[in-house]
Amino acid sequence: MARLSILLFVVQVILAALALISCLSAEKDEIRALPRLAWVALILLFPLLGSIAWYFAGRPVPAGGKGGLPGLPGGAMRQPPRPVAPDDDPEFLRSLRERTAAEKERADRELFDRWEADLRRREDDLRRRQAGDPPREEDRPEV
């Protein structure tokens, strides 16, 4: 019987320590039902009940799941956290693709405009030569 009591005491201390660590490391705005100081006091004064209450009604809701007891505030789902690295962020990758596509389109447009201007110049030069007019000053090769 003494061994069982010691085992239950150790389990209670471990549960209280884990609940206290969880409470102290949780973000302030994610803690549900009570303020952080009230949860710490509850866990320290009533280790078994306070720890169990923290895990059911106080700790932050895991992403993608609904937690808490019915009727207690904070049972709603929260948004999943944003990716940390830019190459994991779909919004960043999409904006990069859009920017790259826009830059490529602009460069293609500039190249097309240069080709079109060169073609017009050559056509004008060809028409002048066929009509017997001398080439214009800008069409003469530089020496």
| Angle, alpha carbons 23-24-28 (nearest 5°) | 85
Structural domain harbouring 38: 2-58
Residue 135 has what pLDDT? 63
Q: How far apart are CA 51 and CA 19, in angstroms?
A: 5
Mean pLDDT, residues 101-107 taken together? 87
In a domain, 64, yes or no: no
Considering only 18-22, 76-80, 81-85, 88-92, which range has the smallest mean pLDDT?
76-80
In a shared domain, residues 94 and 47: no
For residue 63, is it within any domain?
A: no
Q: Summarize pLDDT for 39-56 with one digit per residue, the tens.
A: 999 999 999 999 999 988
Nearest to 58 by CA among 76, 39, 41: 39
Which of 39-43, 62-66, 101-105 has the weakest average pLDDT? Answer: 62-66
Residue 72 lies in a domain: no
Question: Of 38, 40, 37, 33, which is closest to residue 70 (Cα–Cα)?
Answer: 33
Rounded mean pLDDT, 93-122: 90
Q: Is-contact 54 23, C-beta < 8 A? A: yes
Confidence at residue 71, expressed as pLDDT on a 0 to 100 scale = 44
Greatest CA separation for the chain: 120
Please choose, from the candidates 96, 60, 56, the residue with its C-alpha nearest in 3D space to the C-alpha of residue 80. 60
Whether residue 129 is contained in a domain is answered as yes
Condensed to tens digits (0 to 9), the pLDDT of residues 2-26 reads 899 999 999 999 999 999 999 999 8
Look up tokens 């110049």; give the residue.
121
Distance CA 114, CA 62 (A): 58
Assess contact for 36 and 28: CB atoms under 8 A.
yes
Is residue 69, in this structure, part of any structural domain at all? Answer: no
User: Does the pLDDT of residue 112 top 90, yes or no?
Assistant: yes
- Domain assignment of residue 37, yes or no: yes
Give how many domains the chain has, as a whole number: 2
**Residue 44 falls within a domain, yes or no?**
yes
> Domain check: are 48 and 11 in the same one?
yes
Q: Is the pLDDT of residue 70 over 50?
A: no
* Within a domain: 116: yes
